[in-house]
A and B are shown apart, each in its own frame.
Chain A
Amino acid sequence: EDKVVQSPLSLVVHEGDTVTLNCSYEVTNFRSLLWYKQEKKAPTFLFMLTSSGIEKKSGRLSSILDKKELSSILNITATQTGDSAIYLCAIEYGNKLVFGAGTILRVKS
């Protein structure tokens, strides 16, 4: 069964909109939750979250982990066309790094 579930699967917004991407997981004893952005080939690292309730920010992107709800969100404010990509959530547990199906974000100008 899927250990990491992302929603929505795809999303189309207009430039300037704010989006919230969700990641829920089933594993409780994980070491970290990671967010990646994939535009063409290799995913690029965005955030690593290990502690609940502590927001991480990078420019217009931010992310937070809620261990009680077994979930994480990735927020993007004032979206730009360059934000169009697949956003991937992953959890590191046991000796594995397991990804969700991703959210395809398309930002229209």
Chain B
Amino acid sequence: DGGITQSPKYLFRKEGQNVTLSCEQNLNHDAMYWYRQDPGQGLRLIYYSQIVNDFQKGDIAEGYSVSREKKESFPLTVTSAQKNPTAFYLCASSIPRMNTEAFFGQGTRLTVV
């Protein structure tokens, strides 16, 4: 079955440690996105990528980094520079410029203690 897989579902890390969240899709989508969601709020765009080896900063990129070495994969690293990393992280993918909806993974809940 095609879809987007995020792992892990829950992640606990100590303050000051970098952590990488995985996002893999087998939908053959060119575009991939990372969003952050805080309790009771909407989705804020962290990074997005339209093609392999290219990505752009979203609205809240500070303290995060990404790579797009393969079409299927778009991992997000939450660095120690991110001041308030505890949040719910959602990955999405879509076919750009084709007027089709974006599909989401089930999310990773990151808690930094």
Contact = CB atoms under 8 A, between A and B. Distances in A.
Interface stretch (B15-23, B61-69, B74-82, B95-103): B95-103
Contacts, number: 62
Interface size range on B against A: 20 to 34
A104 B105 CA distance: 21
A98 interface: yes
A90 B72 CA distance: 23
Interface of A: 6, 10, 31-32, 34, 41-43, 45, 48, 50, 86, 88, 90, 92, 95-102, 104
B110 interface: no
A42 B104 contact: yes
27 contacts: A31-B97, A31-B99, A34-B102, A41-B106, A42-B90, A43-B90, A45-B102, A48-B101, A50-B99, A86-B40, A88-B42, A90-B43, A92-B94, A95-B48, A95-B56, A96-B48, A96-B56, A96-B58, A97-B33, A97-B45, A97-B102, A98-B59, A99-B43, A99-B44, A100-B42, A101-B42, A102-B42
